[in-house]
Amino acid sequence: MNLIITCPRHLEPETEEELIDILGELGDSDVKITITNMSGILTAETKLDPIEVVRKIKEMLLDEPWSVRYCKRIIPIQKVIESKIEEIEKSVAELSNQILDEETYRISIEKRNSDLSSKEIITKIANNIKNKVSLEFPDKVLLIEILGNKTGVSILKKSDILSTEKTKRSMSE
């Protein structure tokens, strides 16, 4: 998986169709989409760059707000690992060079079907990153998405995560 998609509960099949259409338009006719056992969550494996996919879907939304009806959030994932604190720590260490020396960061953890301790994960990761933390306006977000026994890790700019509602709202302002 290199994308996590959230949608309204019980609209997963419609969201899956919408994603197949959108990613097909963007050039991936062979995307693998999985409706997870967690209500309102799908994962996708696309051969396209996930961050680029989010950027292009944002452009589509600004052009035609009605073109995306079911996807609520689309989150690019750079690395998928087992949901173990040591694994998470290791993969963050591998990706942390994406945070430049002068950049600030924050750690965001979203847990579903997991009893791992967020506090423990944050403590272990933060001990290995020398940069300043900014909870309000970070340059980079170190995102840890725990979906049961699989975890997706990404280091992104806030703009790399798509919230269709926020994007549509920003157009009416």
What does the DSSP assignment read for 69-114? SS--EEEE-SEEEES-HHHHHHHHHHHGGGS-TT--EEEEEEEES-
CA dihedral sign, ordered 59, 104, 153, 14: negative
The predicted structure's pLDDT at residue 171: 84
Strands of the chain (E only): list them. Answer: 3-6, 32-35, 41-45, 73-76, 79-82, 105-112, 140-147, 150-156, 162-163
User: Hey, where are the domains in the chain?
Assistant: 3-76, 79-156
| Residue 76: half-sphere exposure toward Cβ, Cα within 13 Å | 23
Q: What is the pLDDT of residues 13-68, one digit of tens each?
A: 999 999 999 999 999 999 999 999 999 999 999 999 999 999 999 999 999 999 99
Structure tokens at 35: 């409706």
Q: Which residues of 35-46 are buried (b: 16+ CB within 10 A; e: fewer)?
A: bbeeebbbbbbb
Sheet of 32-35, strands arranged across = 32-35, 41-45, 3-6, 73-76, 162-163
Average pLDDT (101-127) is 96
DSSP letter assigned to residue 136? S
Average pLDDT (160-164) is 95
CB 164 within 8 A of CB 19: no
The predicted structure's pLDDT at residue 59: 95
CB 51 within 8 A of CB 84: no
CA angle 47, 53, 93 (to 5 degrees): 75
Q: 123 falls in which pLDDT band (50, 70, 90)?
A: very high
CATH fold of 79-156 reads VC0802-like (3.30.2130)
Tell me what the pLDDT averaged over the chain comes to: 96
Q: Which of 44, 37, 114 is nearest to 74 (CA)?
A: 44
pTM given for the model = 0.93
- Decide if pLDDT at 172 tops 90: no
Distance CA 164, CA 156 (A): 17
Average pLDDT (86-110) is 96
